[in-house]
Amino acid sequence: PFLASFRRERKMGIDLKAGGRNKHTTKDAPNSNNVYLQLLVKLYKFLVRRAESNFNKVVLHRLFMSRTNKPPLSLSKLIDHMKGQDGKIAVIVGKVTDDVRTFDVPKLRICALGFSETARARIEKAGGEILTFDQLALIAPKGANTVLLRGTKDREALKHFGRAPGVPHSSTKPYVRAKGRKFEKARGRRKSRGYKA
């Protein structure tokens, strides 16, 4: 009888490996050991605390992000976004890259974590200004007259995620070493080979 009552009273445990008690899920520091990034985090933590502004909160949150979540922004996209935004500073928590398809670069003020060599040269040649985030903190501590931008997160790897390739109603891209007739083009892929899914 004692054993029976003990078995009845036994409760389910918490699966700690599956994230059981972890209530703190938001990042509060970057994973990177980059000293300059950590100094920027220190600066923007101070600004969030002392200069009440949503802009600083967003910038700080983006500084914590991983590399895939801080995608680069091309010069062409940046120019498009800055049309009709005269006198404002473009702010990108990420890298600015060059675009050879763009011929005319207007005069721009840009603040970003990094620039490719050619993008930097083209911006400066057009009479533009390149700022770092500590310089931005002095110019616009509350983010006044700034346009906060970010690149697109689309990457090739995402095409392979989802339902298994070949399963009905799946448009997932398979991992194939070539796109020829001999590679995953038989049964289930063509009407002439049994059926097409």
pLDDT tens by residue, 97-154: 999 999 999 999 999 999 999 999 999 999 999 999 999 999 999 999 999 999 999 9
The pLDDT value given to residue 24: 77
In contact, 130 and 122? CB cutoff 8 Å = no
Mean pLDDT of the chain: 91
Find, among 133, 146, 131, the residue nearest to 42 by Cα: 133
**What span, in angstroms and rounded, lies between the C-alpha atoms of 69 and 93?**
10
Give residue 15's pLDDT. Answer: 66
| Cα 188 from Cα 166, distance rounded (Å) | 7
Enter the pTM of the model. Answer: 0.80
Strand partners, 97: 74
Taking each helix axis from N to C end, the angle separating 35-50 and 54-63, rounded to the nearest 10 degrees, works out to 160
Q: Once rounded to an integer, what is the mean pLDDT over residues 31-35?
A: 94
Residue 42 confidence (pLDDT): 97
Query: Of 140, 98, 85, 92, whose CA–CA distance to 113 is shortest?
Result: 92
* pLDDT band at residue 10 using 50, 70 and 90 as cut-offs: low
DSSP 173: P
Q: What is the mean pLDDT of residues 51-73?
A: 95
Residue partners of 130: CB distance under 8 A and separation at least 6: 110, 111, 112, 115, 120, 123, 124
**Cα 76 from Cα 102, distance rounded (Å):** 6
